[in-house]
Structure 1
Amino acid sequence: MTTSTAERVKSPHGAARSRTSTFVYPWDVNGDPEAPRRIAELGVDQVTLASAYHSTRALTPRHPRRRIVTAEHAAVYYPAGGHWADRALRPYPAGDWAPGDAFGEAAEALRGAGLDVHTWVILAHNSRLGAEHPDTSVVNAYGDRYPWAPCIAQPATRAYLTDLAAEAAVRPGAAGTELESLGWYGLQHLHAHDKTAGVGLGDAGQYLMALCFCPTCRAGYGEHGLDADELAAAVRDALEPLWRGAGDDAGWPTVEKLLGEPVAAATRAWRDGRARTLQEAAVAAVRAAAPEGFQVLLHADPVAYHCGANPGVDPAHVLSVADGVVVPCAGGTALLAPFAEHARPGTVLAANFTVVSGMGGSPGTLATDAARARDLGATELRLYHAGLASDDDLAAVRSALR
């Protein structure tokens, strides 16, 4: 195992062990005086607490006053700064699901239970922004808008996301942050009453459906020698076999086959460049606002053309920018290896496991899964999600973390 000294903590018996954090919403804690103790007794060292989050509907299975929280739109869970007042793109305050400084209230209670608190910041995933400012959204090759997916190439959107990252990350008492959705979002989205699974698009189809044709991206393709109208037509032609159920999918090689290698490479040159420079700007903004020693991690996937909450990155680049990454491991731990190849002393590789059985997690195998992750270079663990898990799931987590 390659755990660095700086990122390790001591157990009560003095042996070094990996730092473990669980994700939590402010509403899991506020109004439930038993929540901080219950979370601490899981055996975690840290809580990754949402400070800016997308719309959701969530269970609160142990809260003394409620069982369902409906967060109607993407919002910040603290009072946003006055510097947003004259800007068209600005964060939305939460409704009654997280009023006032909900983050600050929950963070204080969690710190009182002996837990470190890091912020959990959702960035390029905001359906209300897309509904109220439709020109900010990704537009696919058919002209359909994705209101949940802000186009990260647009200058105003990039400025908004960078400033939001700094403000939402650096909250009083937080020792670090995890930035989620800091990259391209695509078609994949857990939408209300979703009916998009009838055709299996595969990795290649998802990439093609994620290509944006807003005015900014159309101009960007032109900078790389592509005619946007011709590219959109080529994408539609490439997708046609998939709609008939006759497509094959070998990932990126299929994209190259369908578009031609030079065209496929040019789309990546535009998109990868926009994502990389946004990540650099956002991390720099967080560090400029943060105290010394503040940890900055990105949720990331090492397959660079992937989109979503864990956007695709170049492992070497992202680990030269941030202190580390949070890697999705619900489907296995293979995604850790490409990051481990580029890890340096002090690099954080956090393996993220779902521990909610009803959401496909496997808390009963957490000890085995964690050991496998450490063998592949993981230095820390992330557990999704203490507020959503059943009592049986939490009992399994407690057992594993002993």
Structure 2
Amino acid sequence: MRTSAFVYPWDVIGDPDAAARIADLGVEQVTLASAYHSTRALTPRHPAHRLVTAEYAAVLYPPDRSRWAGRDLAPYEAGDWAPGDAYGAAALALEAAGLDVHSWVVLAHSSRLGAEHPGTSVVNAYGDRYPWAPCVARPEVRAYLVDLAAEAAVRPGARGTELESCGWYGMAHLHAHDKIAGVVLGDAAQYLMSLCFCAACREGYAGQGADPDELAACVRRALEPVWSAGGSADAGWPAVEKLLGAGLAAATLAWRAHAARALQEAAVAAVRAAAHPAFRILLHADPAPYRTGANPGVDPAHILSVADGVVLPCTGGGADTVLPPFAAHARVDTVLAANLTVVTGMGGSPSTLAADAAHARELGATELRLYHAGLASDQDLATVREALLALR
């Protein structure tokens, strides 16, 4: 199985041994961040630093000023955590080590965008804005994300791209100093808290036959017992229907699926138009259409008719749930990449990588993704190296 490791430019730049160390793992490819959200990232082997703080979502290369001139929404250039063409410099080093480089593009996830342009954000049923979550139903947001996808994906030398957060983002977010765990929300309640009620989405719900004011009131009524009981672990679409009623639930999903598909189709088309014919386009995804976040919910048959494949969250037994729905619609050349966390401190299990990879392959996976070569400890990387050797 072809294997790629996720990498940040700051893992490579300034560390003369980084590229060779990644190649020595036994991977053929790296998925290198070219547009990424704010984060704090450990760099346990870097000779110059141990912690990188990316203060806001940014592109990790110099954006094309002619593309963005005069536009309200434009990508932010990175600060000193990835100055200049950090992506390009890292890509050259990785290519010199014999690795194929694919770009890694995070789209609908930017707290700075929402802070500086509040009208672009998801607004929940209580009127609270989620500045980290751009509303992908808004035409101006979609236009921005589509152009960002084309520019950030098709970097010099890149052989393909992986588009993360190409769909709805929701309430769940690794925010600085999060204090939202006092009431446990299962994914049904998370869905209700992730429904957007901005002007564009209110119009969208109305187009599906749902009065937006009544829908917002219904969401608040449905969640009231959750707040008073201290939470709800109810999961799955039937649980959403139980909270909202089947009719209203279906109306919300129809509108959100329409908006997400419009973004996904336009983003993939823009990347294809900018790239060479063999350029490969994958989307991070989940087969449950109502899911939000880095792996937004999609319809497997539809998304595999648009993109060349998907990257799927398979850590902790996730392969059993996420792979079969996509495998049922895969073509001979479809890429189904099983994403496995190999950082023990982040809940990964490098010691079971060989078994997990073999199981994923039985379920239809054609490739592996390893999260994350820069974050993992030396011991984790040594275990990964042994596992990949055993898989050959």
Compute the TM-score of the two structures, normalised by the length of structure 1: 0.95
Alignment of 1:3-402 (within 5 A): 18-82=1-65, 83-245=67-229, 247=232, 249-332=234-317, 333-334=319-320, 335-402=322-389
In the alignment, the residues of structure 2 paired with residue 125 and residue 42 of structure 1 have an alpha-carbon distance, to the nearest angstrom, of: 30
The C-alpha deviation readout for 1:229-256, integer Å capped at 9, x for no partner, is 1110000000111112264624211221
Three-state SS of the structure 2 residue aligned to 1:265 is: helix
Matched-pair contact (CA < 8 Å) for 1:283–1:322: yes
The C-alpha deviation readout for 1:78-137, integer Å capped at 9, x for no partner, is 110122021000000000000000000000000000000000000000000000001100
Compute the TM-score of the two structures, normalised by the length of structure 2: 0.97
In the alignment, the residues of structure 2 paired with residue 107 and residue 141 of structure 1 have an alpha-carbon distance, to the nearest angstrom, of: 43
Q: Which amino acid in the other structure matches residue 47 of structure 1?
A: V
Three-state SS of the structure 2 residue aligned to 1:70 is: strand
Matched-pair contact (CA < 8 Å) for 1:248–1:254: no
In the alignment, the residues of structure 2 paired with residue 165 and residue 184 of structure 1 have an alpha-carbon distance, to the nearest angstrom, of: 15
In the alignment, the residues of structure 1 paired with residue 14 and residue 4 of structure 2 have an alpha-carbon distance, to the nearest angstrom, of: 22
Q: Which moved more, 1:280-289 or 1:238-247?
A: 238-247
Q: CA deviation at 1:297?
A: 0.1
Q: CA deviation at 1:197?
A: 1.3
Matched-pair contact (CA < 8 Å) for 2:205–2:255: yes
Q: Which amino acid in the other structure matches residue 63 of structure 1?
A: H
In the alignment, the residues of structure 2 paired with residue 283 and residue 190 of structure 1 have an alpha-carbon distance, to the nearest angstrom, of: 27
Three-state SS of the structure 2 residue aligned to 1:244 is: helix
In the alignment, the residues of structure 2 paired with residue 368 and residue 78 of structure 1 have an alpha-carbon distance, to the nearest angstrom, of: 38
Query: How many equivalent pairs are there?
Result: 385
Matched-pair contact (CA < 8 Å) for 2:284–2:312: yes
The C-alpha deviation readout for 1:309-328, integer Å capped at 9, x for no partner, is 00000000000000000000
Q: Which amino acid in the other structure matches residue 266 of structure 1?
A: A
In the alignment, the residues of structure 2 paired with residue 250 and residue 370 of structure 1 have an alpha-carbon distance, to the nearest angstrom, of: 27
In the alignment, the residues of structure 2 paired with residue 203 and residue 61 of structure 1 have an alpha-carbon distance, to the nearest angstrom, of: 34
In the alignment, the residues of structure 1 paired with residue 64 and residue 92 of structure 2 have an alpha-carbon distance, to the nearest angstrom, of: 20
Three-state SS of the structure 2 residue aligned to 1:147 is: strand
Q: Which runs of 5+ in 2 are unaligned?
A: none
Matched-pair contact (CA < 8 Å) for 1:302–1:313: yes
Q: Which amino acid in the other structure matches residue 387 of structure 1?
A: G
In the alignment, the residues of structure 1 paired with residue 385 and residue 234 of structure 2 have an alpha-carbon distance, to the nearest angstrom, of: 41
Q: Which runs of 4+ in 1 moved over 6 A?
A: none
In the alignment, the residues of structure 2 paired with residue 250 and residue 325 of structure 1 have an alpha-carbon distance, to the nearest angstrom, of: 23
Percent identity at matched positions?
75
Q: Which runs of 5+ in 1 are unaligned?
A: 1-17
